[in-house]
A and B are shown apart, each in its own frame.
Chain A
Amino acid sequence: MDAQAGALREEGAVLVIVVLLMLATLGLGHSIFLSTRYELLATRAGARQLGARAAAEAGVELALVRGGGPWMDSVSIWGTGESVVVQIGDVRTTTLLRRLSPESWLVEATARHRGGVAAMSVKLAWVLDPLERVAALPGAVGIGAAAAAADEGIVGADRIGNASLADDLCLEWSEATRTRFRTRAFPSVHLLPGGVLRPSLGELDFDALARLAETILDTRGTPAPAERFGECTMGEAWNWGDPDRRNRPCGAYLPILYAPGDLSVDGGMGQGLLLVDGDLTLTAGSRYYGLILTTGALRLRGRAALTGYAVAVGGLTIEQGARIARSACWAFRALDANRVRLGIAIAREEPIGPL
């Protein structure tokens, strides 16, 4: 009887132990489940946050790549452009450009995941403003300090006069300058700050400008307007627009041109923004309208003429019969006509945050 009772007690003890072990296993299993679930939730939240962050950064990059356009002029300081909304999957991204100064823009993108997660990315960008850039030039022709120190640095500077602006060509410039009228003296030739070896336009350095050029030039040539079937054949190397006949197809074509070495222009005419990584020589009655930037010297010979502004780091030579007619309007037109091309060149990006 005692033995039977003892066996029963033993069987009961095993059962209790097994149940306890099962409970312990269940508890540990549940703990594993909770830990895994926590990790899953954290990972999911992280993935959503990462997606929102990536979408916000993509929104900023998209705005920077697309760049600006003529609409940017109409945005006042502290004003905003039209917001761009992009929905990709569960993430909705809103991008906005806010103007902080004539050339400083805050590019803001906010991305919201449907799951409630949001992220924001902001950059401070610099976008060239033609009016601001031309207004910032302290004189008609800027030359490097080293060139000025040399004897041939400024030769014939007395042959720099004012351009005659007879029609509505410079109406926009004139209206713009009403609010920013210069009261200081405006010299024909000014010295660039010491150490400047390559010309630039604000935050856009020479190399960045050269990358924007639509035409690469050889060492020598004669520019002339080129039309085909009533349309201007843009991109042709020596088609530099038609400054004399503004109603013709090439009249509104003011290309960005780039010569990687010395350039000699023999006669002909052209307009736009001319970049020369070397010396530029205009000769044989050649006429150019717009803005010229050269890393070397600028030489005008044999009744050649420039109407606009120039920066010639290597110095300036104007021979008898040649002339420069200073015209802020033409410099402005050269930049304004390429506003979209120049506007997409964000020269500097400052990450901003946290916000």
Chain B
Amino acid sequence: METVVAVSLGTLVLQLGLVSVQRTRLAHTRIVERIDALGSFRLGRFVPRRELRYALAGRDWWVDADSLALRAFRGTGVVCPTDGVSSDLVVSFRGDRQPDPEKDSVLLIGANGSASVAALSAVGTVTEACGIGPATPALWRLDRPAPSQVVVARLFERGAYHLSGSALRYRRGASGRQPLTPEIWSMPATRWIESVERVAFAYVPSGAGPRRRWTGFLAWKSGR
């Protein structure tokens, strides 16, 4: 009798324990999946959002359902005043990274709002510049003379974001597409949505139904 009770109780406790472990593991798996989904959504939304924040639609970026081609700005050089037209600019530079003539170009903004593009040929150092705060003074050599009255030179690389292979990928220039997120997106439900006024990011994790679709604002198209 005692053995039967002991075995029954033992089995019950074992059963309860196994169920607890299973439920906890399931909960853990779901939470990890949820965290991955949230993390990838964050990346998928905020990385392009940050890029587009500094750019103007039509001039600096163009969007399709699964690709976003853009001038990816990496820094800003405020141009020190000079006399005449020259292909050398002395700038006060701040940015995410240092300029690289191998891959960078420069968008030149004039005092009258004009914008023109030049390739960055070389970068040099200067002892003195019209420094702003913690900015780095630098000499930028362009492949052509800069227009007169340029006030700001914006450093950028050409790139494109793609929604492919269930992930967000970035391609710089003509190089390959590098994944930025885990491959957990449902395609083609995950895509960029373009309207007259704005661009949004619609995101559906793989295996999720349409009710799990999240949509986030990316950028205005009307330059507001």
Contacts and interface: CB of A to CB of B under 8 A. Distances in A.
Interface of A: 7, 10-11, 14, 17-18, 21-22, 24-25, 28-29, 31-32, 35-36, 38-39, 42, 46, 77-78, 98, 100-104, 106, 122, 124, 126, 202-203, 348, 350-355
Contacts of A351: 53-56
A10 B3 CA distance: 10
A25 B21 contact: yes
A36 B151 CA distance: 48
Q: Which of B21, B27, B73 has the most CB of A within 10 A?
A: B21
B76 interface: yes
B109 A124 contact: yes
Contact of A7 (B3, B54, B94): B3
Contacts of B189: none
Contacts of A124: 109, 151-152
A17 B81 CA distance: 78
B112 interface: yes
B20 interface: yes
B65 interface: no
Contacts of A102: 111
Given A46-B42, A104-B111, A21 B54 contact: no
Contacts of A25: 17, 20-21, 24
B128 to A, nearest CB: 13
A122 B25 CA distance: 48
A274 B158 CA distance: 46
Q: Which 3 A-B pairs have the closest CB atoms?
A: A21-B17, A101-B111, A14-B10
Contact of A354 (B21, B73, B151): B73
B113 A39 contact: no
Contact of A77 (B27, B38, B81, B94): B81
Given A348-B113, A354-B54, 4 more contacts: A11-B6, A35-B31, A353-B53, A355-B95
A29 B2 CA distance: 34
Which of A11, A101, A103, A122 gathers most chain B CB within 10 Å? A101
A106 B6 CA distance: 81
B75 A100 contact: no
Contacts of B109: 124, 350
A156 to B, nearest CB: 33
Given A14-B14, A202-B112, A352-B54, A31 B6 contact: no
A229 B95 CA distance: 59
Contacts, number: 105
Nearest to A351: B54
Given A14-B10, A28-B24, A352-B54, A39 B151 contact: no
14 contacts: A10-B6, A11-B10, A14-B14, A25-B21, A28-B21, A29-B24, A38-B35, A39-B38, A103-B111, A126-B113, A351-B56, A353-B53, A353-B76, A354-B76
Contacts of B130: 78
Contacts of A35: 28, 31-32, 35
B213 to A, nearest CB: 21
Nearest to A122: B76
Nearest to A110: B133
B13 interface: yes
A39 B42 CA distance: 12
Most buried by B among A21, A77, A355: A355
Contact of A100 (B53, B96, B151): B151
A122 B78 CA distance: 12
A213 to B, nearest CB: 23
A101 B149 contact: yes
Contacts of A100: 78, 111, 151-152
Nearest to B95: A354
B141 interface: no
Given A11-B6, A17-B17, A202-B112, A354 B96 contact: yes
Contacts of A78: 81, 130
